[in-house]
Amino acid sequence: MTAQTQPTPTGLELFDNAVKDLGETTNAITYNNNRAELLVNERKEPWDREARAAANLDEKIACEMIRQIREFERVSPLVFGNVPSEQIPPPEARDMGGQFLTNKTRIENRSILFDISKMVPKGALLHLHFNAELHPERLLEECRELKTMYIRSLRPLLNEDDLKETEILFEVRDPVQESQHPGDIFDPGYKGAEFKKEHNENDMWMQWGTFRKRFNHQFGELYLPNVKARDYEKNPNSSEQGPVGLEPVENWVLQKMVLSEAEAYGVTQTVNGVWARFNQATRAFKGLLNYEQVYCWYIKKAIDRMIEEKVMYAELRPMLMDKTIPSTDGKRKLDLSTQMRLIIQGVKEVKAELEKEKRLDDFPFGLKVIYCTPRSISKSRMAEEMKDCLKLALELKNAGQGNFICGFDLVGAEDRPNNIGFYSDLLVAFQKACKDLGLNIPFMFHAGETLLDTGGSDDPSKSNLYDAALLSAKRIGHGVALLKHPYLIENYYQDIAVELCPISNELLHLVRNVKQHPYIQMLAAGIPCTINSDNPSLFSNSMSHEFYQVMVGSPTMDVHGWKQFALWSLKYSCLSDDHKKHGNSIFLERWNMFCAEVIDTYSVLFDSAKIEQLRQSGTFDSKKIQLARDKVNEAFEKKKARDDERVKTDSKYAEEQKKQKGKWKFGDAGGFSKS
């Protein structure tokens, strides 16, 4: 009798058998072991290894506490609450790490992580445009009674469309000369002019005080404030030291100077469009800052703000192509040398006050200046700019100011001509001249702040990242396009720092939000990076906002990363080696204080007894750090209640303002009163 042949198992049966044996088979064990080994190997050389290796127990505890707070805020409906689901998120939910301006109020009023971001010592601020540290409310407040301040418009202001479409400039001018040909921007015969046509300035400028009165009388009810000025707690992240109650005309000007959520994220907005809007805002700012009286005041206020934000040193980028600024009376012109001395004097006065208060470690090294000029100018004009830079740097060095001019930069939208290589012969000559003169002025180019990455041409070989590398730039600004160039990264950019400006890159349409920003990939590729605020006055941001954004932009970011950014900011600064050493010492002391403060302040949201046990034992165990859900919910409920009350108050105030339309009359002082 022939033995029956066993049926061959089907594919599905083989799979089922394999699943049953999975826990016992060598293959499953091997896979799990290989996976564990893979994770260990990837984490052997983390980008923040310097900071991580030196972390003490408090830093490790604070790191885990902050990580858990972040992840709670991500999913909590009290803060963000936009979680993956088949359900459409409720209208009040927000996406952590989503659009900055959309989230900004939520971040500031509900996020404990943002409160911690304000506490963190940030090292050096290496990418800050000179005219953009303080918000425009303060500049408008400063010039209210200045009789020499004038305004100019691109068109006459006759209706609401004119108000929306025009561009404006401010400038301090000589009233005696202006009285001979005063402009009237509200006259239908006002010609306006393209701002570059300097030959046609007669009848263009209107005295600011006169303009304020006329505007408030004619259009004031269109620009009544929607939010009542409140006595906020002094907030280092808004540059506001108390409320600023703006007149209607100032509310209108403010809209010209600050990029709004609608302008940044509008469905028809483009890279070129938002850049043009950004440049308009920059031009409007210029005249409110560039005159003698406010120059001195501005520097001191800017340093005050940096200190409040826990920044200990900064390198400013003024645009120095305009060689003079007016005196406050409009009768004299102050040259570049005088402008630099005003900055130096302002720094000196602040440091003297800090020393008197025994707080010099708050800002021990003052400021330095990176000479900036636009990349859009001719080669002959660029040669003159380089000569001016060398002359100024040499003069200040000989006057005992060392390398106060600490770098040279070419600025402007990279999708417009010219690329850095266009000036390569001049830039090489500049390097030789610096060497011959004993000057240290490294290049700090804006490079890679683009999606096209073609240096304003249709030729990818003209990327500014090539020339920045070949010209041995010390740092580059933005670098968003770097990941397109693996060869450059491996062979050139391992020791060229990138000045990251994540919020700027989002608002200028290089990324949609911080979660799409390539900073984590840059760091993983071995590129040293620093965190910077770029143009706070235009973007409504701060260094604390920037540190917050990089923390929520990737779940792999943690407190050790914050520390590494700050350490790199000092390492790649233009400070002397002795000052870098001293700066590191100050920073590390304050870093340890920060970590201890985080634990002392926020352990109440955790099982605080277990955290104290960890500190007493001297050993770290992340499993013993656990959020106390009832306590953390209570804390966020209080924050949400305060935020809801703020929104309610603002809505009520805005409604009251609408009801008052037609019941206001213009006062001689430039303000409004009820009729």
Q: What is the pLDDT of residues 398-436, one digit of tens each?
A: 999 999 999 999 999 999 999 999 999 999 999 999 999
Same domain, 250 and 342: no
Better-scored residue on pLDDT, 412 or 202: 412
Q: 555 with 476, same domain?
A: yes
pLDDT in tens, 515-573: 999 999 999 999 999 999 999 999 999 999 999 999 999 999 999 999 999 999 999 99
Q: How confident is the model at residue 25 (pLDDT cuts 50, 70, 90)?
A: low
**CATH assignment at residue 585:** 3.20.20.140
595 has pLDDT over 90: yes
For residues 524 and 557, the answer to whether their CB atoms sit within 8 Å is no
- The answer to whether residues 125 and 190 belong to one domain is no
Sequence-distant contacts of 599-603: CB under 8 A, at least 24 apart: 599/58, 599/61, 599/62, 599/65, 602/65, 602/69, 602/112, 602/116, 603/65
pLDDT band for position 197 (50/70/90)? low
* Residue 68 confidence (pLDDT) above 80: yes
Whole-angstrom distance, CA of residue 473 vs CA of residue 407: 10
- Confirm if 113 and 555 have CB atoms less than 8 A apart: no
pLDDT of res. 484: 98
In a domain, 675, yes or no: no
Boundary-marking domain end, from 192, 225, 257: 257
CA distances (Å), origin 584, targets 26, 542, 569, 668: 51, 23, 10, 55
**Which domain-ending residue is among 590, 613, 648?**
590
Domain match, 272 and 218 both:
no
- Structurally, the chain folds into a number of domains equal to 2
Position 352 pLDDT exceeds 70: yes
* Nearest of 114, 129, 125 to residue 547 by alpha carbon: 114
Query: Looking at the structure, do residues 321 and 188 belong to the same domain, yes or no?
Result: no
The answer on 347 and 439 residing in a single domain is: yes
Would residue 253 count as lying in a domain?
yes
Chosen domain end from 547, 570, 590: 590
173 in a structural domain? yes
**In this structure, are 236 and 275 located in the same domain?**
no
SS3 category, 440: coil
pLDDT digits (tens, 9 = 90+) for 267-301: 999 999 999 999 999 999 999 999 999 998 999 99
User: In this prediction, what percent of the chain has a pLDDT beyond 70?
Assistant: 92
Tokens coding 672: 């409004």
460 has pLDDT over 50? yes
Domain co-membership, 416 together with 387: yes
pTM assigned to the model? 0.94
pLDDT tens figures, 98-147 = 999 999 999 999 999 999 999 999 999 999 999 888 888 999 999 999 99
pLDDT score recorded for residue 243 = 56
Residue 536, in any domain of the structure:
yes
Is residue 653 situated within a structural domain?
A: no
* Cα distance between residue 94 and residue 113, in whole Å: 15
Q: Average pLDDT for residues 482-508, to the nearest whole number?
A: 98
Tell me if 634 is assigned to some domain: no
According to DSSP, residue 270 is labeled: -
When pLDDT is averaged across residues 461-471 and rounded to a whole number, the result is 99
Please tell me the distance from the alpha carbon of residue 664 to that of residue 498, in angstroms, as a whole number.
52
Q: Are 248 and 317 members of one domain?
A: no
Same-domain pairing of 247 and 287: no
Query: If you average pLDDT over residues 148-161, what whole number do you get?
Result: 97
When pLDDT is cut at 50, 70 and 90, the band that residue 235 belongs to is: very low
Are residues 162 and 122 part of one domain? no
- Give dist(CA 94, CA 104) in Å, integer: 11
Q: Which residue has the higher pLDDT, 1 or 335?
A: 335
Q: Is residue 282 part of a domain?
A: yes
DSSP string, 630-661: HHHHHHHHHHHHHHHHHHHHHHHHHHHHHHHT
User: DSSP state, 334?
Assistant: E
Model confidence band, residue 229 (pLDDT cutoffs 50, 70, 90): low
Q: What is the residue range of 179's domain?
A: 139-257
- Looking at the structure, tell me whether residues 435 and 323 fall in a common domain: yes
The answer to whether residue 361 sits within a structural domain is yes
pLDDT at 43: 87
Average pLDDT, the chain: 92
Task: In whole angstroms, give the CA distance from residue 647 to residue 159.
Answer: 31
Average pLDDT for 14-35: 77
Run of H or E including 421: none
